[in-house]
């Protein structure tokens, strides 16, 4: 009996310790998602802070409208001039068979392939400096192209829609390039989303395409005040067509102070022949009312009222 007493005391201590541990076991935790969403009748529901989402106030900002793409001008727009409209028709319909014969090529001294200055390349077996037929195209610089069919093909590919406007050409022709009677302005497709479209001018003289000019930078609208000159408008831009304000359509140039001159023509060094300026063709050799000699380098007009082509 005395030997069993320590054993009984040890068993009693272990039993008491186990009972104390069972009293400290926490009650099982019910997940928040399993809590009842409705309380007993008459109970006041208090939202738990941080657990109830706060609704966002309605936005008062006005949504930014998507930009409306600019539509190309109507392909049916025409100027009323038969020669100009024939060129427009060929460009809009991409009729190269009709357009290529309308391109007027000019003689120009050639340079070896890869030469500078925009001169046309010499064909094989042609010495540098010999004259070849070429067509002038302006962009940031003037260049002369012998392949007129390829030049006209690029023209119809670049021009978008119908003509943006038709303007009276500027008076001051260059030595080797004429601006003709009318300038037909087209819009072009942008090269990429980062590059804005540029304006394209097709210069027409008596139904022939005599020069192309791509603006180095700037839209078709810039041709309305090209080179700082307010050009007379024959076919106004679509936004101004049929309105009483803005740029009116005109069939002739604005009246200016006129002087009497008589001119038999001018001497063109490009072909060695005397030609008559278009403003004097109806009354060549007789006194006519005009603003004077258009090409002072090629036509010697005197104040006495007579003029001769310089030799």
Please say if the pLDDT value at position 77 is more than 80.
Answer: yes
Sign of CA dihedral 131, 103, 80, 161: negative
DSSP designation for 311: -
Give the model's pLDDT for residue 306.
42
Nearest CA among 184, 147, 143, 183 for reference residue 163: 184
Q: What tokens were used for 219?
A: 């839209």
Sorting pLDDT into bands at 50, 70 and 90, what band is 231? confident
Please say if the pLDDT value at position 52 is more than 80.
Answer: no
Give the model's pLDDT for residue 199.
93
Sorting pLDDT into bands at 50, 70 and 90, what band is 137? very high
The gap between the terminal CA atoms of the chain, to the nearest Å, is 157
Spatial distance between the Cα atoms of 239 and 184, rounded to a whole number of angstroms: 16
Q: What is the mean pLDDT of residues 183-189?
A: 92
Give the model's pLDDT for residue 207.
94
Q: What is the mean pLDDT of residues 152-176?
A: 87
Summarize pLDDT for 106-136 with one digit per residue, the tens: 999 998 876 556 789 899 889 999 999 999 9
Q: Residues with Cβ < 8 Å from 135, sequence gap 6 or more?
A: 103, 104, 105, 106, 144, 145, 146, 148, 151, 212
Give the model's pLDDT for residue 287.
36
Give the model's pLDDT for residue 118.
77
Q: Residues with Cβ < 8 Å from 19, sequence gap 6 or more?
A: none
DSSP assignment string, 99-118: HGGGB--EEEE-B-TT-STT
Any idea what the Cα angle at residue 116 is, between residues 111 and 122, rounded to 5°? 20
Least confident interval from 67-71, 105-109, 144-148, 224-228: 67-71
Q: What is the mean pLDDT of residues 166-181?
A: 82
Selected residue with higher pLDDT from 62 and 122: 122
Nearest CA among 147, 148, 146, 143 for reference residue 118: 143
Please say if the pLDDT value at position 170 is more than 80.
Answer: yes
Least confident interval from 230-239, 255-264, 301-310: 255-264
Selected residue with higher pLDDT from 226 and 155: 155
Summarize pLDDT for 238-289 with one digit per residue, the tens: 875 444 334 444 443 333 333 333 333 433 333 333 344 444 433 334 333 3
Q: What is the mean pLDDT of residues 294-298?
A: 36
Nearest CA among 283, 263, 279, 152 for reference residue 210: 152
Give the model's pLDDT for residue 272.
37
If you average pLDDT over each of 30-34, 140-144, 258-262, 271-275, which comes out highest?
Answer: 140-144
| Residues in the chain, total | 311
Please say if the pLDDT value at position 55 is more than 50.
Answer: yes
Selected residue with higher pLDDT from 138 and 20: 138
Half-sphere CA count of 26, side-chain side, radius 13 A: 3
For 6, the enclosing helix (H) or strand (E) is helix 5-23
Spatial distance between the Cα atoms of 212 and 142, rounded to a whole number of angstroms: 10
Spatial distance between the Cα atoms of 134 and 110, rounded to a whole number of angstroms: 9
146, 120 Cβ separation under 8 angstroms: yes
Give the model's pLDDT for residue 288.
34
Q: How far is CA 142 from each of CA 51, 116, 211, rounded to the nearest angstrom?
A: 74, 11, 10
pTM (global) more than 0.85: no
């Amino acid at each position: 009996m005395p030997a069993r007493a320590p054993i009984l005391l040890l068993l009693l201590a272990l039993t008491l310790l186990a009972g104390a541990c069972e009293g400290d076991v926490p009650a099982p935790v019910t997940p928040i998602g399993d809590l009842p969403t409705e309380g007993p009748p008459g109970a006041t529901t208090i939202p738990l802070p941080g657990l109830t989402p706060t609704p966002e106030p309605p936005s008062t900002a006005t949504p930014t409208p998507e930009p409306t793409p600019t539509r190309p001008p109507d392909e049916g727009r025409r100027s009323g001039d038969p020669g100009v409209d024939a060129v427009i028709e060929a460009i809009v319909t991409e009729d190269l068979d009709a357009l290529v014969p309308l391109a007027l090529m000019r003689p120009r001294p050639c340079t070896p392939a890869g030469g500078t200055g925009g001169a046309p390349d010499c064909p094989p077996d042609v010495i540098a400096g010999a004259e070849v037929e070429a067509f002038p195209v302006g962009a940031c610089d003037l260049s002369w192209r012998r392949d007129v069919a390829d030049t006209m093909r690029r023209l119809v590919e670049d021009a978008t829609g119908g003509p943006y406007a038709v303007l009276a050409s500027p008076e001051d022709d260059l030595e080797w390039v004429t601006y003709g009677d009318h300038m037909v302005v087209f819009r072009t497709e942008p090269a990429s989303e980062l590059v804005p479209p540029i304006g394209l001018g097709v210069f027409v003289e008596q139904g022939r395409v005599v020069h192309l000019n791509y603006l180095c930078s700037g839209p078709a609208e810039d041709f309305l005040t090209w080179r700082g000159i307010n050009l007379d408008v024959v076919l106004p831009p679509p936004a101004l067509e049929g309105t009483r304000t803005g740029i009116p359509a005109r069939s002739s140039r604005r009246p200016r102070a006129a002087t009497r001159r008589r001119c038999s023509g001018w001497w063109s060094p490009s072909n060695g022949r005397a030609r008559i300026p278009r403003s004097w063709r109806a009354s060549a050799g007789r006194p006519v009312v005009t603003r004077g000699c258009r090409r002072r380098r090629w036509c010697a007009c005197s104040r006495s009222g007579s003029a001769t082509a310089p030799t």
